[in-house]
Amino acid sequence: MARGSLLLYGGSFNPIHNGHLIIARAATEQLGIERTILIPSAAPPHKANSDLASPEDRLEMVRLAIAGEPGFEVSDIELHRQGPSYTILTIEAYRRELGSDVQLYWLIGGDTLPELGTWYRVGELVDLCRIVTASRPGFEAPDLSPLLTVLTPAQIERLRGGMIKTPLVDISATQVRQRVREGQSLSGLVPDRVAEYVLRHGLYR
């Protein structure tokens, strides 16, 4: 296990589902991570979603989902921030808190990697932490050439070196919300505690 290593996994988690957990577990195991922190975002800059559950509901669903997961935690750091949830601001906050000796990883899905060029201060982000990319269905070998407009060749090579193989789990939060609206079972898609929370609080109706 890598001493002083921290994996951060941000997202809207609307809701968190088994695909998120499988990817996080695989990355944690492959990288030998000490602590893995899931970070629900308050206002994802790249997503306009009127179906977004409240920050409090999404935070609680993550708490329920990771209960009993060794080394897994949830953070509300982005929920208290005014304005969009820019990843660089979160990384800077953790870097200030932990210092330069701790290896910081930021976990993304393979479909997100080609879009990094639209991220705020992405060049600084790539230098402040190691971006780890989990392969997902249909995105095993993304084209990174568009990133040359905002990143150096060396930075892009680091991104390529951060790609890890994870189980291909074809589950999406959109699919989960649709099944809720249609009154279908969420079995196998989200942890049981999350399914119970969604139904009890009438989310995504």
pLDDT for 1 equals 45
pLDDT in tens, 95-115: 999 998 999 999 998 888 889
Closest CA to 66 of 156, 149, 190: 190
pLDDT above 90 covers a percentage of the chain that reads: 77
Return d(Cα 80, Cα 42) in angstroms, integer: 8
Return d(Cα 177, Cα 192) in angstroms, integer: 15
Domain boundaries, the chain: 5-171
Q: With 80 as the cut, is the pLDDT of residue 39 above it?
A: yes
pLDDT for 45 equals 59
Q: Which CATH class is domain 5-171?
A: alpha beta
Tell which wins on pLDDT, 148 or 143: 148
Give every CB contact of residue 116 below 8 A, 6+ residues apart in sequence.
108, 122, 131, 147, 150, 151, 159
Closest CA to 130 of 163, 98, 99, 82: 163
Q: With 70 as the cut, is the pLDDT of residue 203 above it?
A: yes
